[in-house]
């Protein structure tokens, strides 16, 4: 976003993914350590196993290894043309990552000589390429926030509805964590890197290959000579004819709880419809204490509110509570909704970015324990099942809590920030 504002010749270098950990001959990563807590507290693993998983989850430097937020956005920025080819899939400790850093000044010089600016590269078409690749890879819900904010900064119109339309058309083909078992290092070593996937998607009409990139060439020119993907030798990336899911996992849900929209990452593995009784928390900390001290009942919808852009302030991610649910083996029996957001590692029946948020008087602020909530990923609905009379009564009684920060930058942010449905921008 700052590169767009400055609009000077620029290249983004991604730091690269962390290597996987290993425990009992199984690959593990950061999310493994979070989910291990739920397993330990429900006696699925011992304290000794828990400690070993924690010790081995993160063996070195780099971004979280699955198709979580960092790798999602790195892949998106690559297909948008703002990184050199392979930047998103080169591991953090690889020789290729060092060579990429050494090559970058040569391409910066080329951009300067040819007067190619970020706004020449970041266009509506390249942003759509980014959304499509992110959905094909099973990317983080945070791509919605970031894409909306990037588009707004570049004065390009983009809405939640447009993202949903793209998700309806684009299949999910990547068997990557948290949806599947594989990591970005497997894309590098077994597939040949993200450009191989980009080439496949261009050749099949999913992605536009004629967008300009920081190499000074088009996206297709960057990838045309890379190897073709081989579907017989691996099950990390599936073919478009045999996808994991025929349409995208990103679902934009509306309804009385989210009249301005909310974002879910639902693959169908956890089901498509969930109806349950609410248990309400006004902070993530209170929810985490509840998880650690009590057994969660099946058929519960955990509500974590006042953690939106204004209320938090800053919209923290809910990796701990979602990982606890998954680790406890309750992904199909417990749902979670929030006006906060999720880590890219979060999965299960979870809905975030609820707008308007609780701090702004959204309906999520009026939910009470035992209220019935319906999450419908088939019809893209998020509904509180109470009568309008009762909603009006509760609205009259609701008093907005004071902002958590009273001065300084975060106070100004709380007063200025837009809703998550507009990308949490402040202008």
* Helices 30-41 & 319-327 angle (0-180, nearest 10): 60
Distances (CA, A) of 76 to 140, 213, 370: 11, 13, 40
- Asked whether 209 and 220 are in contact (CB, 8 A), the reply is yes
Provide long-range contacts, Cβ within 8 A and 24+ apart, for 97-100: 97/15, 97/16, 100/13
Instruction: Report the alpha-carbon distance of residue 51 to residue 54 in Å, rounded.
Output: 5
Q: Give the strands of the sheet with 334-338, arranged side by side.
A: 250-253, 261-265, 349-355, 334-338, 300-304, 273-281, 372-376, 381-384
Query: What is the bridge-based pairing of β-strands 250-253 and 261-265?
Result: antiparallel
Cα–Cα distance, 143 to 116 (Å, whole number): 26
For every residue of 231-285, DSSP letters joined together read SSS-SSB--TTS-SBSS-SEEEEBSSS-TTEEEEE--STT-SEEEEEEEEESSHH
Tally Cβ neighbours within 10 Å of residue 426: 11
Beta strands 21-23 and 372-376 are: unpaired
| Number of other residues whose CB lies within 10 A of the CB of residue 115 | 8
Active centre residues (catalytic): 343
The SS3 call for residue 355 is strand
Angle between helices 69-80 and 194-203 (to 10 degrees): 50
The dihedral sign for the CA sequence 118, 121, 125, 129: negative
**Angle at 71 (CA atoms; ends 70, 72), nearest 5 degrees:** 90
Is 61 in contact with 82 (CB distance < 8 Å)?
no
Distance, CA of 351 to CA of 356 (rounded, Å): 14
């Amino acid at each position: 976003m700052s590169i767009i504002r400055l609009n000077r010749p620029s290249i983004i270098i991604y730091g690269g993914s962390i290597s996987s950990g290993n425990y009992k001959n199984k690959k593990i990563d950061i999310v493994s350590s979070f989910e291990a807590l739920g397993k330990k507290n429900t006696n699925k693993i011992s304290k000794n196993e828990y400690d070993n998983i924690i010790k081995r989850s993160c063996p070195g430097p780099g971004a979280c290894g699955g198709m979580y937020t960092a790798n999602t956005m790195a892949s998106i920025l690559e297909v948008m043309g703002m990184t050199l080819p392979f930047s998103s899939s080169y591991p953090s400790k690889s020789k290729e990552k060092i060579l990429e850093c050494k090559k970058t000044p040569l391409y910066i010089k080329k951009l300067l000589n040819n007067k190619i600016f970020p706004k020449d590269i970041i266009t509506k078409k390249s942003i759509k390429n980014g959304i499509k690749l992110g959905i094909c890879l099973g990317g983080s819900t945070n791509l919605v926030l970031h894409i909306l904010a990037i588009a707004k900064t570049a004065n390009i119109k983009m809405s939640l509805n447009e993202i949903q339309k793209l998700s309806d058309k684009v299949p999910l083909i990547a068997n990557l964590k948290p949806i599947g078992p594989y990591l970005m290092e497997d894309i590098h070593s077994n597939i040949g890197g993200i450009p191989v996937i980009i080439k496949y998607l261009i050749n099949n009409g999913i992605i536009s290959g004629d967008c300009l990139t920081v190499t000074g060439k088009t996206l297709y020119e960057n990838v045309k000579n890379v190897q073709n993907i081989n579907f017989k030798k691996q099950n990390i990336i599936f073919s478009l004819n045999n996808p994991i899911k025929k349409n995208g996992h990103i679902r934009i849900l509306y309804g009385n709880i989210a009249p301005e929209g909310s974002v879910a990452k639902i693959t169908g593995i956890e089901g498509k419809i969930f109806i349950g009784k609410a248990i309400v928390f006004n902070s993530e900390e209170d929810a985490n204490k509840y998880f650690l001290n009590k057994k969660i009942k099946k058929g519960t919808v955990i509500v974590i509110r006042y953690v939106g852009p204004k209320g938090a302030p800053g919209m923290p991610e809910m990796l701990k509570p979602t990982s606890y649910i998954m680790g406890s083996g309750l992904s199909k029996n417990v749902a979670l909704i929030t006006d906060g957001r999720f880590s890219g590692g979060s999965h299960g029946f979870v809905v975030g970015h609820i707008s308007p948020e609780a701090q702004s008087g959204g309906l999520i602020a009026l939910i009470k324990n035992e209220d019935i909530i319906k999450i419908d990923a088939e019809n893209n609905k998020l509904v509180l099942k109470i009568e309008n009379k009762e909603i009006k009564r509760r609205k009259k009684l609701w008093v907005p809590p004071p902002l958590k920060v009273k001065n300084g930058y975060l106070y100004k942010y709380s007063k200025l920030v837009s809703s998550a449905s507009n990308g949490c921008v402040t202008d």
